[in-house]
Structures are given as C-alpha cells and as structure tokens.
Amino acid sequence: MKDIVVLIASIASIALCTCTAVSLVPDDNSHYVEGESRYIWMLDGEGVSHLVDLEEPVDETLLNVRNEGSNQYWLYTRQNPNTAETLVYGDIDSISNSNYNSSRPIAVIVHGWQSNGNTAVTSLIRNDFLAAEDTNVIIVDWRTVASSNYLTAVITSIEIGQLIGNFLEWIINTTGGDWNNVHLVGISLGAHVVGSAGRQVNGQPARVTGLDPAGPLWIGNPNALNRNDGQYVEAIHTDGGIQGILIPIADADFYPNGGRHPQPGCSTTSCSHGRAPQLFASSIRTDHLQGRLCDNYYQAQSVECSGIVFNMGNSIFSKRGSGIYGLTTGSSWPY
C-alpha cells in the first residue's frame, strides 16, 4: 500500500496544471497543452470521446487489484476464430480443454481505457493475426479497472500488467512454450499495461508493441512503456502530444505522417489516436508500411527522413531493430 500511495503522489504531481479554457465540444482538444492542462477529450473503445478530468479523485476500492479475477484471458485460434475459450490462471484443465497449442506462437492483445475485449479494433487485430499465421491469440479483458476514471485506471494498469506477466509465465512454464514466440500488443493505455507485463517477466517477450501509447499522466512516469520491456519494443505514434506520447520511448519508434494529429482523413484527435491500431492491423496483413530512418524525432514529425528502410508493425516474432522512423500513409484501409 505504501508503494501505491507514493505512486498516487507522483502522478498527482504530474497532473498539476495550468487550467486554460476548456472546449465543451466533443473531441475538440485545441485547448490541451501536454503536462499543463487538467482536462482532455479521450477516446473509448467504441469510438466515443469523454471529457476527462486528470485530477479526478482516485477510486480507492480499485487500487489493490492483485486478484486474478481482474483479468479475463480469451483464447482464439484457427479452430475457434470467432468464439472465445476462457483460460484461467492456475487451472490446467482450462488449457487442456481448449484449442491452445504450445507449439504455436502467442499474440496477446490488450485494450485501453473505457474499453473491453470485444471492441471492433481488438477483433480486427485478432483476425489479422490468425490470417497471417496459426497463432494462439489471447485477448485480455480488464474492463473492471479500465472502466474506472482515468487516473484510477492509470495507477492500477501497472498491477494489471503484472498479473498478465504472471499468467504468461504460468502458461509457458506449464505447457513448455517459448518466450521467443510471444508478442504483446497494447492499445493506448493498454500499451503501458503490456509494458508492465513485459517488465514482470524481465523483458523476455520477443516483441512488445505499443499502439499510440497513452500520453496524459505518462510523460516522465517511470512505469511507462519503455525499451526494456521486451527483446524488441516498438511504438507507433499517431496522436503524439495529445492523447498519445510524442517522444521516443521504444527500441523503434514510428511516426506515420509526423506522428501527430491530424492523420490523413482525420478531423479529430480521437480519429488520429485510433489510427495506430488500424495501421498495425493492416501491417499484419500486408507488411507494406515502410519507415525511413530519421536523425531525430523532430525530423520524423516533418516526415523528412531518408535513411534505411524498416517496416512498421507486422507479425514477425523475430523482428529486431532500433531507431526513429518516419513514413507517410494513405487515409483509408489498407493505408
């Protein structure tokens, strides 16, 4: 509990702001200044924007979530591509009675704030993983905590990630799996959840991918997704400086169309924030999104990079690389 109190105090200090005028027009974040503003419009899993108070009191009833029931683990394979099988931590029968196969790679998908495992984007990424390779796709549903106010979800997301790490360690040790075949994918706030999961198992996952990692309350936060969370950590930035983090945080950071709002075809920051998972899903299918190495992330923001080519996203478990990359995309699928 002492650690949680210290964490609350740390995040509360980050939340202290200069309160500028706030737009009450949904999705209008023209007022938002990273690290200063108290209010921001943020996207939920259904594409709806909510006005978030970054200083809203913490829901203390959810702070101690070291309960395996906080997370649901839904398995999808080519044998059950549309109907989930629930895996239960510590219950070997839940594995043996499912289509889980330890010889297949594992792709774990984690949703973000005010979301759940049944959203269109998690289903899209799931289906693309299964189309690309015979994979154990595990969607983590942590809606009980993710549905709380944003500050509470930020604080508890760290322990949610630790629980995921414990679950994966158990299933791999139990079935004889291989960390070199594990890919963790997190959407927005879920990016920091998978970062925590990777740290819990000492960075053993082959890949960790953050899809526009959430920005508010994460700048300077030591628990944010970082390059130590997996063997190869990748971040795709599409609404940097508003709903997403702008600065490089991973082994490889990609800045499609400058990494900021507006993304092509987007009139709102929520559209831009939601573009990262769409781009990633497309890259699993086609692996056609090519970044160019940049000298720095300022160059990436202006898409003036001309270095070596490195593909963004995809589902290759052995993928490795580093650097900052810029690229341009289209405004509609497959981008």
Percent above pLDDT 90 for the chain? 85
pLDDT at 260: 97
Query: Could you tell me the pLDDT band of residue 64, with boundaries at 50, 70 and 90?
Result: low
Total count of residues recorded for the chain = 335
pLDDT, tens digit, for every residue of 66-122? 565 689 999 999 999 999 999 999 999 999 999 999 999 999 999 999 999 999 999
> Average pLDDT for residues 30-54, to the nearest whole number?
92
pLDDT at 70: 80
Among 157, 188, 270, 272, the active-site one is 188
Q: State the pTM of this model.
A: 0.92
Per CATH, domain 65-327 is 3.40.50.150: no
310, 320 Cβ separation under 8 angstroms: no
Assess whether 318 carries a catalytic annotation.
no
pLDDT at 229: 98
Assess whether 212 carries a catalytic annotation.
yes
Per-residue pLDDT at 23 exceeds 80: no
Per-residue pLDDT at 164 exceeds 80: yes
Query: Which residues are within 8 A (CB) of 32 and not within 5 positions of it... i.e. 6 or more apart?
Result: 39, 40, 41, 242
Query: Could you tell me the pLDDT band of residue 65, with boundaries at 50, 70 and 90?
Result: low
Strands of the 323-327 sheet, one edge to the other: 85-87, 72-76, 136-141, 106-110, 182-187, 207-211, 232-236, 252-256, 323-327, 290-293, 309-311
Among 44, 141, 212, 253, the active-site one is 212
Mean pLDDT of the chain, nearest integer:
92
pLDDT at 9: 41
Query: Could you tell me the pLDDT band of residue 127, with boundaries at 50, 70 and 90?
Result: very high
pLDDT, tens digit, for every residue of 260-318? 999 999 999 999 999 999 999 999 999 999 999 999 999 999 999 999 999 999 999 99
pLDDT, tens digit, for every residue of 212-241? 999 999 999 999 999 999 999 999 999 999
pLDDT at 2: 41
Higher pLDDT, 46 or 118: 118
pLDDT at 7: 45
Q: Give the angle subtended at the CA of 128 by the CAs of 122 and 133, to the nearest 5°.
A: 130
Assess whether 37 carries a catalytic annotation.
no
Cα–Cα dist 184/133, whole Å: 16
pLDDT at 45: 87
The candidate with the shortest Cα–Cα distance to 208, out of 189, 188, 191, is 191
Among 183, 192, 261, 273, the active-site one is 273
